[in-house]
Structure 1
Amino acid sequence: MIRVIIVEDEQPTLDLMERLVGRHPLLEVAGTFTSPLEALEQYTLLKPDAVFLDVEMPKMGGLELANKLREIDEDIQIVFTTAYPDYAVDAFRVSAVDYLLKPVTSDDLERVVARLSKNYSLRSNLEAPVAVGEPSVRCLGTFETRKVDGSLISWPTRKTEELFAYLLAYPNRLAGKWQLADLLWTDMEEDRALHNVHNAIYRLKKALKEAGLPVDLTHSNEGYLLRVAPAFTDIERFRDFMKRTSAIDIRNATEAEKLFRSCRGELFGGKDYVWSSGLAAEVSAQKASLALMLASYYREIADMAAAKMTLRTYLADAPLDEEINAELLRLYAESGESGAFRNHYEQYAQRLEAELGVRPTESIRVLATGFSI
């Protein structure tokens, strides 16, 4: 993943860029800023691989900010966003990777990501051995399984992959053979569905054995049991952390931050598994809890910028979450950021009306009266 920050002085444009960049499978939004000065202050903490900069901004323009970032990190990859193509020459004078003309489209972003990927040799790195301590299976934001040599497993059938996903979702628990038949081959006759379960289990065992992965898949007359260690998948690491954590402090902050950054996106990469909706809701609720705990920790150490960034990062994936939106608005209110408060409240209210046909809750509306909204 390429970690990026986005600097854009207009909040609506910043939100659009954050959603567009955040949806790309090779990019991770490490931070967003409307203030170039704040972006400069937070740069060494966030340590991004690339920066998307608006060219025209008050107090410090994108070209000036790019030069200052180069002084800190000469390897930083810079992409400019602008409504004026005449800035292209100036952009390349500071060795920008590329520039994007507003409004930015998905096709434009793909072109830029291709250049960023080439610069970081990302394609070859994706095939490199997994770093020590990394999980063999990623379920959050994607769904990929790596062999012991670091290469990706190529599943023989989609149903084999889905069967593995289900067993990973509920590890160390017996999955009944008839239950699997009904879940994965819903519209098929029972005998034929059960036959498909046996075949898929056989293919799964073979694939896991060839991959050299440390899993134990056993069977009984009743069904199948997959035993894995918590470190085997990112989702188990995440669930294990949430089970044993009620608050974030200096002792577990680093682990919490790493988990939060890694759990972006939908469960199983948004694959349409009909049985996974309940688990997806559970994971989403735990993500919200982690975001709130992290924001509370940043409050305690007086790092309000990090607290706001954490909440905005979560809202990029779940923009209608009432509790997180309310907490972010409270932070804006406490910091006296009336402009940021107003912009966020209006966008939240518009989303609620457009998608659910409702207004913000009374408590949020009361909070908004302080800024004459």
Structure 2
Amino acid sequence: MRTILVDDERLALAQLKKLLERDIGDIEVIGMYTDPLQVCDQARKLRPDAVFLDIQMPGIDGLELAERLQSAVPEAEIVFVTAYDQYAVQAFELHALDYVMKPVQLDRLQKTIDRLKDRILSSCDNGTAEEPPVISCFHQIKFQLPGGQPLSVKWRTSKAQELFAYLLHHRDRTVDRETLFELLWPDFDSIRAAKQLYTTIYHIRQTLKSAGLQAVTIHSGELEVGYKLTIGEARLDVAEWEARLKRLPALEAGHMEEHEQVLGMYIGHYLGEVEYLWSEHERERLRRLWMHHAEGLSDYYLERGMIVAALQVNQRIQHYLPYDEESYFTLMKLYDSLGDTAGVEDQYWLLTSRLERELDSAVSPAITKWYDSWKEQRGRARLAGV
């Protein structure tokens, strides 16, 4: 394992180097630095597996330097070395792989090295997977590793979740820091906002690493004026869905299975669980694309008298767009054609309930007129004994 050490005290560096190389072994210290401002450039050249980083150093905060290192060498693990008491250390433990208290004890350092080796080995195993990981944005953000199931992400804070979502939304583009300050910390001055941003970026990187998504990285822009997220070989569900939608062949008998598959790939609105204001335009654009496709499928089935298939499509429309009157009206007529009186009644009641009680809005006159006429016909039919 190749490591670099950062501490403003030369004696502390020498002691840690001796413990790592002589007492533990199988560790190569490839760089030692007392000036933290030199570390990032050297780390880019040396590509260490791990960095042992003192927290209290002149000129730069340890958390800020750790954030810069994660940008310079995202594959490197960070271990904090600190003289803080145990209560303060708990805060750092949340976003570092480990911490070591000063004075450094050999047995405690051995546990850290064991954790480092396990993490590096795990990263190598994930990197050999044949299939790329998947990032899901329909409804909520989930990560899916090859061979696994989509899993919800345990974000350190809501700010970390939104910052990741925002950078993912603007992936492959550098977003300047001022934009991020205004989005997430509009009431903070630039110094406080910068510290929050450094820490939040660090949390995101640790979350990605813990999830096995080494392909997804966040880079500092030129002169660190912003950040850019790239997803590497990882796949994005919304992008794949839109690409498949645009490649669909014409609605014909031989292609209906493919059309149904693409319809089913839409499992919720874009970032629908959180509904960030900045994502509303994209959410609406994707929603309209899906709706246009669903309505096309419904029309295809209706024209061919495939009532059950049309029913299923409109039920799905209603599920994702519960205030779309047309789906209720279509379902009422479909249930009527099947002779399902209860189905018609349920759809009209559900529409009335949602519009009048939830939106304080009336059902459209055309639907009310159709329903009243249907009720009248049903009444006459009962009187006639039909």
Which interval holds the TM-score relative to the shorter structure? 0.5 to 0.7
Query: Comparing 342-351 with 305-314, which one deviates more in the overlay?
Result: 342-351
1-structure distance, mates of 2:333, 2:130 = 40
Q: List per-residue Cα deviations over 1:129-179 (Å, max 9, x = no partner).
A: xx9878622222332223457485644444223222222334344433222
Shift of 1:348: 0.9
1-structure distance, mates of 2:233, 2:135 = 11
Shift of 1:301: 5.2
Shift of 1:354: 0.9
1:91 is matched with which residue?
none
**SS at 1:224 equivalent:** strand
Shift of 1:365: 3.1
Q: Taking every aligned residue pair, what percent have the same amino acid on both sides?
A: 27
- The residue type equivalent to 2:291 in the other structure is A
User: Which of the numbers 328, 337, 346 marks the counterpart of 1:343?
Assistant: 346
1:238 is matched with which residue?
241
1:363 is matched with which residue?
366
2-structure distance, mates of 1:362, 1:269 = 31
Do the aligned partners of residues 243 and 224 (structure 1) sit closer, same or farther apart at CA in structure 2, a change above 3 Å counting? farther
Mark the runs of 5 or more structure 2 residues left unpaired by the alignment.
1-128, 377-386
Do the aligned partners of residues 327 and 214 (structure 1) sit closer, same or farther apart at CA in structure 2, a change above 3 Å counting? farther
1:284 is matched with which residue?
287
Q: How does 1:148-187 map to 2 (within 5 A)?
A: 150=148, 152=151, 154-187=154-187
Shift of 1:336: 5.5
2-structure distance, mates of 1:180, 1:307 = 45
- The residue type equivalent to 1:167 in the other structure is L
1-structure distance, mates of 2:253, 2:190 = 54
Q: Normalised by the size of structure 2, how large is the TM-score?
A: 0.52
| Higher-Rg member (1/2) | 2
- The residue type equivalent to 2:143 in the other structure is T
2:138 is matched with which residue?
140
Residues 245 and 262 in structure 2, CA contact (< 8 A), matched pair in contact too: no
Residues 267 and 280 in structure 1, CA contact (< 8 A), matched pair in contact too: yes
1:57 is matched with which residue?
none
State the Cα RMSD in Å.
3.6
Residues 137 and 270 in structure 2, CA contact (< 8 A), matched pair in contact too: yes
Query: Comparing 183-192 with 306-315, which one deviates more in the overlay?
Result: 183-192
- The residue type equivalent to 2:216 in the other structure is V
Q: Normalised by the size of structure 1, how large is the TM-score?
A: 0.53
Mark the runs of 5 or more structure 1 residues left unpaired by the alignment.
1-130
Do the aligned partners of residues 331 and 135 (structure 1) sit closer, same or farther apart at CA in structure 2, a change above 3 Å counting? farther
Shift of 1:321: 1.0
2-structure distance, mates of 1:294, 1:268 = 25
Residues 140 and 263 in structure 1, CA contact (< 8 A), matched pair in contact too: yes
2-structure distance, mates of 1:260, 1:204 = 32
**SS at 2:162 equivalent:** helix
1-structure distance, mates of 2:298, 2:285 = 20
Residues 132 and 145 in structure 2, CA contact (< 8 A), matched pair in contact too: no
Residues 135 and 234 in structure 1, CA contact (< 8 A), matched pair in contact too: no
Shift of 1:247: 5.8
Do the aligned partners of residues 135 and 318 (structure 1) sit closer, same or farther apart at CA in structure 2, a change above 3 Å counting? farther
Q: List per-residue Cα deviations over 1:283-334 (Å, max 9, x = no partner).
A: 4333433322332343355431121122113313432112322333343455
Do the aligned partners of residues 369 and 187 (structure 1) sit closer, same or farther apart at CA in structure 2, a change above 3 Å counting? same
